[in-house]
Amino acid sequence: MAIFKGSGVAIVTPFKEDGSVDYEKFAEVIEYQIAGGTDCIIVCGTTGEASTLTHEEHLDCIRFCVEKVNHRIPVVAGTGSNCTETAIYLSQEAEKYGVDGLLVVTPYYNKATQKGLIKHFTAVANSVKTPIILYNVPGRTGCNIQPETAVYLAKNVENIVGIKEASGNISQVVKLMSLAEGCIDLYSGNDDQVVPLLSLGGIGVISVLANVAPKETHDMVASFLEGDVAKSREIQLKAIPLCNALFCEVNPIPVKKGVELMGLCGGTLRMPMTEMEPENAEKLKKAMADFGVKLA
């Protein structure tokens, strides 16, 4: 059974002006997402700036999110690392908090061969019982999970059940789903390719867009899964200008500005992320308004 179907938000981590985690605002953002119809919360992923959290902060954010959500919707924790032992540690700790799934990214910087990826993901998966979603985002990691590798892992490791595909390579996803024959749950990792991946057998998205438009992102997926492809496509195409604005600078710089423009939380980032360029912020503000996002 899938960890979730629908729209999973790759949720931001709110920071105070001094850079510490703002748990009061984090709680408000979580409630906003649940009220907006989000189907799953993915905490401490790329958008959550996990790479600049200490291990203690990382785990505290996961624990806080699980407790705040309190079983209302699934919570998936990002626990990947370029160090296998670190990924095992984070995954085991997150499992203790009762997460519904783990999102494990490919090793970055030091990367890995396909054989290395199999060993890495197998070691992490065997250290826990929680179901795992592989995260393929070669544009950020420099490491690509080949379709054959993803299928091998899904067929040979019991708790590797899904993949967040953010390669942007539709041909690769076609090959993956052809080889998989239903053995792996596919989630779009790109907000501008949700409908294309759903058409190939995907069951949802792990979304940046959902931070500022939770209902619309949920409706895009739900409509498709309910058979209303026309409505799903209409939402997807209408969202493209906003998707473009949300990725006009390195994620999560724009989306952090977006939630700030909505008054949900401050837009403070941790270095090396820096404040959005003013002209890009204006473009984002216009795209949000045009899409119907209520600004503060």
10-32 pLDDT, tens digit each: 999 999 999 999 999 999 999 99
- At residue 275, the pLDDT reads 96
pLDDT for residue 257 = 98
Q: Quick one: pLDDT at residue 125?
A: 98
Q: Is the dihedral of CA 121, 122, 125, 127 positive or negative?
A: negative
For residues 209 and 284, is the Cβ–Cβ distance under 8 A?
no
pLDDT digits (tens, 9 = 90+) for 163-212: 999 999 999 999 999 999 999 999 999 999 999 999 999 999 999 999 99
As annotated, the active-site residues are 135, 164
- Chain centroid, CA 183 distance in Å: 21
Residue 78: pLDDT band (50, 70, 90) is very high
Query: CA 89 to CA 97: how far, in whole Å?
Result: 13
Per-residue confidence (pLDDT) for residue 123, from 0 to 100: 98
What tens digit of pLDDT does each residue of 214-235 get? 999 999 999 999 999 999 999 9
Residue 260 has pLDDT above 90, yes or no: yes
pLDDT range class, residue 1, cuts 50, 70, 90: confident
Average predicted confidence (pLDDT) for the chain: 98
- The residue to which tokens 């058409």 are assigned: 199
pLDDT category of residue 253 using cuts at 50, 70 and 90: very high
Return the pLDDT at 60: 98
In this structure, what token pair is assigned to residue 114?
Answer: 């396909």
**Which sign, positive or negative, has the C-alpha torsion 39, 174, 246, 80?**
positive
Taking phi over 0 as left and psi of -120 to 50 as alpha, with beta for the rest, 34 belongs to alpha
Q: CA 99, 144, 10 angle in degrees (round to 5)?
A: 35
Cα(188)–Cα(197) distance, rounded to whole angstroms? 6
Residue 106 has pLDDT above 90, yes or no: yes
In the three-class reduction of DSSP (H, G, I as helix; E, B as strand; rest coil), residue 248 is classed as coil
Please list the residues that pair with 8 across neighbouring strands: 40, 206
Q: Is the pTM of this model over 0.75?
A: yes
